[in-house]
């Protein structure tokens, strides 16, 4: 999966290129439990080349996820345990729309522990996709992310997500709502204020960027469209800061498909 990407780190740094390449090695079988996920970023001074394998399905308290462990290749080319980081793949589904075909959302945990988690949304760019210049499209999906309060305590989050793209004017509007939150023990928790936010963005090529505005937080959003033929799916990353000076932060990624 390559092309326009969105990514955000839970320490507040955001990037439009979390990884320059994300590949899945099916290893010649239809069994997803033996897939190997490779992440690379060959841009800039910091080179990333990491692999994760043996994804295990589970429910993290907010929905379905698959968690894979880091692996490296030994001198014989065999996969052996690597560092302590993990890869979490989020399965964004809708009762009406089903899952995503061209977009994968996920999170890479830090190594060593205590660093910033990296949330990412990568998409499979189809050479047949043509961005419309007229008309509108409505998208529905969900987000996964992290809320960090002013004291530095982190909570995992999930929400509903909707977007409307006007391909004639280049305007994208939408909202993230119905946020759910759990603590480190997977117990339900409540934020000190509403985490819901509205999105106002502008399309440029197959990407879009703009503002994310909530009742107590403001920030930015970056995203991209994917699909074969028409842009039937979209992905985005968001990063918001508390406006009242309390130090709270909300970061994450979202995936959607057309209604």
If one counts every other C-beta atom within 10 angstroms of the C-beta of residue 60, the result is: 15
pLDDT mean across residues, the chain: 86
186 vs 44: which has the higher pLDDT:
186
Residue 47 or residue 49, greater confidence:
49
Cα dihedral 51, 56, 57, 61 in deg (nearest 10): -90
- DSSP 8-state code for residue 34: G
Kindly state the tokens that stand for 35: 């897939």
Write down the pLDDT at residue 112. Answer: 65
The 10s digit of each residue's pLDDT in 185-228 is 999 999 999 999 999 999 999 999 999 999 999 999 999 999 88
Give the neighbor-by-neighbor strand order of the sheet with 79-90: 14-15, 6-9, 118-123, 103-108, 79-90, 64-73, 48-59, 36-41, 21-25
Which tens digit of pLDDT belongs to each residue from 13-35? 554 455 667 777 888 887 777 88
CA distance 76 to 95: 46
* Residue-range domains of the chain with CATH: 6-258 (2.40.160.90)
- Using only C-alpha atoms, what is the Rg of the chain? 18
Nearest 5°: phi and psi at 5?
-130, 165
Separation CA 86–CA 71 (nearest Å): 10
Question: What would the pLDDT profile of 50-105 be if each residue is shown by its tens digit?
Answer: 899 988 999 999 998 999 999 998 999 888 999 988 999 998 765 444 578 888 89
Residue 97's pLDDT is 46
Q: Is 19 or 171 the better-scoring residue by pLDDT?
A: 171
Model pTM above 0.85: yes
Dihedral (C-alpha) 194, 197, 184, 254: value to the nearest 10 degrees?
160
Cis ω for the linkage preceding 162 (within 30 of 0):
no
């Amino acid at each position: 999966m390559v092309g326009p990407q969105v990514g955000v780190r839970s320490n507040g740094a955001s990037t439009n290129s979390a990884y320059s390449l994300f590949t899945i090695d099916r290893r010649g079988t239809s069994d997803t439990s033996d897939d190997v996920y490779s992440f690379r970023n060959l841009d800039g001074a910091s080179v990333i080349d990491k692999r994760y394998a043996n994804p295990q399905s589970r429910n993290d308290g907010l929905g379905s996820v698959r968690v894979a462990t880091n692996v490296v290749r030994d001198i014989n080319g065999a996969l052996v345990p690597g560092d302590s980081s993990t890869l979490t793949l989020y399965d964004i589904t809708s009762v009406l729309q089903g899952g995503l075909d061209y977009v994968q959302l996920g999170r890479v945990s830090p190594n060593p522990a205590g660093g910033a988690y990296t949330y990412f949304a990568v998409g499979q760019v189809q050479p047949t996709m043509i961005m419309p210049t007229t008309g509108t499209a409505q998208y529905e999906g969900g987000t996964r992310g992290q809320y960090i309060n002013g004291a530095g305590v982190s909570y995992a989050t999930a929400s509903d997500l909707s977007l409307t793209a006007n391909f004639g004017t280049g305007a994208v509007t939408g909202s993230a709502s119905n946020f759910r939150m759990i603590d480190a023990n997977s117990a339900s928790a409540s934020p000190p204020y509403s985490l819901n936010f509205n999105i106002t963005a502008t399309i440029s090529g197959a990407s879009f960027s703009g503002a994310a505005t909530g009742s107590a937080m403001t920030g930015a959003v970056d995203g991209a469209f994917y699909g074969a033929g028409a842009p039937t799916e979209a992905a985005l990353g968001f990063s918001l800061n508390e406006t009242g000076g309390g130090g709270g932060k909300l970061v994450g990624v979202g995936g959607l498909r057309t209604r």
